[in-house]
Chains A and B, each alone.
Chain A
Amino acid sequence: MTNTVLSPAPHLRTTKTIETAMYSVILALLPGAAVGMYFFGLNAIRVIALSIVLCVAFEALALRIRGRGMEPLKDGSAVLTGLLLAMNLPSNSPAWLILIGCVVAILMTKHVYGGLGYNSFNPALVARVFLLISFPVVMTSWPEPKSFTLSLDTVTKATPLGDMKMSLLLNGNLGDIANMSLMDPFIGRLGGSLGEISALALLAGGIFLIARGIITWHIPVTYITTVFVMTWIYWLLDPVKYASPVFHMVTGGLMLGAIFMATDYVTSPITPKGMIVFGVGCGAITVFIRLFGGYPEGVSFAILLMNAATPLIDRYTQPRVFGYPTRKEAKA
């Protein structure tokens, strides 16, 4: 009778673990990745595979250097970072670019700060922004989407957001963008990073994650709504200079960012109220960069800036503890 386990209560634990969350997010990303593979062909498969393999390899290396054992490798976070990074890169990214991205994501953003749970910034996003600033030409030469072929030859093409910014600079109006069909980008037939092109596929993944309780609605809904409302107001004010809110919904990295990057547990606020502040902040910064900034796209910058604000947001959005006066009662 002396061999009983004397662990503290509770003696029951949920079956949902970190792995459940990580692999669910990976599963939810697959439709978006599949659309990328369909339109960008073998190249997309190469980028995804290489990015995942390298991220896992660097994760193993970091764990080894830090003497942490290989146990955390199975949590799936490195696979997820690899997949997310690939989906944020052009489908014709050369191997060296992916290699640098994986070093930045896994070593410089994640493990330097202590590994999973301790990083302040989303590893895949830091890597993407690092590459965008360091290698702007490679990072903005997006292959034109076409139906699946085995050929590796590609014609490069700007993104609709890039076209918009260029036309505004040269002509002071939206140019061709004003009349483009928005159905193509909704299903994913447009220029852009490998995994950001299909709003439809990404939304499906997001609904799956919310339904499974892996993420909550707070960040994606407030983020996307903020972008919609703000771009709608500007569009009403001057439709010659500002594109429609629907255009902003379906182009660029909004869906990928709002559903999969801004909701990263580690780098976003933990309280429901904080998540709303975070989502609105991400949306507002995205719109300001898209409409007034130097870069055509602002999703990555917006999320990273809000990542930096996360500890502050958490601090000021603590829930009211049961049995304490509400703010109204405290004033009275």
Chain B
Amino acid sequence: MKGKFTGGVHPNDSKDTRESPIQNLPLPDELKISLLQHIGAPATPAVSPGDRVLKYQAIAEPSGYVSSSLHAPVSGTVKAVEPSPHPSGRLIPAIIIEPDGRDEELDLSSSADPDLKKGPEAWKKMVGDAGVVGMGGAAFPTHVKLNPPGDKPIDLLVANGVECEPFLTADHRLMLEEPESLMGGLHLAMEMVGAKRAVIGIEANKPDAVEKIRSMDLPAGFEVEVLPVMYPQGAEKQLIYALTGREVPTGGLPMDVGVVVQNVGTLAAIFEAVTKGRPLVERVMTLGGTMPKGPGNYRVAIGTLLSHIVENTGGLEGPAAKIINGGPMMGQALAGFDSTMTKGTSGLLVFGPGESRVLKPRPCVRCGTCVRSCPVSLMPHTLGSLVEWDQFDLLEEFHVGDCIECGCCTYICPADRNLVQWIRQGKAELITRSK
């Protein structure tokens, strides 16, 4: 059945910033561009302290096939390459650039293809050179996704405009304000993977975005699907199932069922990379939650300190008790605002005291809501208890590897059990043991 995957939960969508147009932020005095902004190997720096760089100039190269390059968002001077706070909580080397305020751009005309004459193979390279990664949160290098092996024919390209995480509205605003880039990117991506059809999946809580895209005179083979509001509707495999009824096999990828999924922000970045030769040096993110004085959707340079975003939007109403990088269902809690924007930072949420209790897990009462809410049909209560009691050997029998870590089970658990955290812990333990 179309539009319905198994399980899922209904948190309040809290899309408070849906009406806020995308705004630009003033440039910070310092940018810290982390070498790890994507899934895969960290990038290798291509500049040294003291070098002058131009806006859009490559400053780090991919260190392998699944890796990505980095570019300077401003013109300025490289101050250092040193370990800096990363959203993951670790210290990861970052290239530190001091802007000179002149915003001198690298000449991009030679790497652009404004008339779309160069063809799919050249475009794939351009996307890779531009350092485009998945902007829905996972930050998987896009050129890898656009290059499925020959034995995996692709018939459908899915544009993911679901944005099912509560609070986040960056994709929503992008669909409203830059539909041309999104549709242009969609065309290019279809050509690159050889897909004949495209579906743009949007949740029903964004009727204006649906209308906007439908009003764009869609060519044949393009469809807009309105999907019920249900978390995690935007999870890749669940979205494919909801739109096509195809199930990505366990351990498989969307290309195994002839589909490639791209986030709408990524598609816009693909369009910029191909038509203007412009690398990914900024992105739209949502500043939200209850504490920011200036919540909204902002276009922010990659490498901007999170504290800069907060300070230049009016600051906070009071002390921050919880800071989340990303959405509230899958985002990471941060210890402060000292880490930086990465290509995968879709949101920064700040909450106050009283909104961030630490819950003490109680015994499972076997109510079964976790089983019914699991979009993968796992038995989260069993997995959680196995980890709680150190029974790691049994985890694989209960398909721990198929967990997508969406957090539905933990959200719904009436006994405040940290099910998804235990499952992550169990997965990590199995990886450690297999080494």
Contacts and interface: CB of A to CB of B under 8 A. Distances in A.
B238 to A, nearest CB: 8
Contact of B363 (A7, A20, A21, A116): A116
Chain A CB within 10 A, most for which of B6, B364, B365, B418:
B365
Contact of A323 (B250, B323, B351, B420): B250
Interface residues of A, number: 41
A14 B9 contact: yes
Contacts of B410: 10, 13
A271 B402 contact: no
A265 B336 CA distance: 41
State the majority secondary structure of interface residues on B.
loop
A307 to B, nearest CB: 12
Given A117-B365, A270-B381, A21 B333 contact: no
A6 B335 contact: yes
B377 A321 contact: yes
A1 B320 contact: yes
Interface string A13-28: 1101110110000000
Given A1-B336, A272-B372, A323-B248, A21 B414 contact: yes
A178 B384 CA distance: 53
Interface string B392-424: 000000110010000100111111101011001
Contacts of B66: none
Main secondary structure on A side of the interface with B: loop
A260 to B, nearest CB: 15
Nearest to B249: A323
Contacts of B412: 14, 16
A11 B322 contact: yes
Contacts of B413: 13-14
B368 A271 contact: yes
A322 B376 contact: yes
B218 interface: no
Nearest to A268: B366
A13 B378 CA distance: 20
A14 B359 CA distance: 12
B128 interface: no
Interface of B: 6, 9, 11, 89, 166, 237, 241, 247-252, 319-324, 328-338, 349, 351, 356-359, 362-368, 371-372, 375-379, 381, 398-399, 402, 407, 410-416, 418, 420-421, 424
Interface of A: 1-14, 16-18, 20-21, 72, 75, 114-118, 216, 265-266, 268, 270-272, 275, 318-324
5 nearest A-B pairs in the assembled complex, by CB-CB distance = A10-B407, A117-B363, A1-B336, A323-B250, A319-B377
20 contacts: A1-B337, A6-B335, A9-B332, A10-B411, A11-B328, A11-B331, A11-B349, A14-B9, A14-B412, A14-B413, A16-B414, A18-B365, A72-B362, A270-B371, A319-B378, A319-B379, A321-B402, A323-B237, A323-B252, A324-B250
Given A1-B338, A11-B328, A321-B399, 20 more contacts: A3-B319, A4-B323, A4-B334, A4-B336, A8-B420, A9-B333, A11-B324, A11-B356, A13-B411, A14-B9, A14-B11, A14-B414, A17-B415, A116-B363, A318-B398, A319-B371, A319-B379, A322-B376, A323-B252, A324-B399
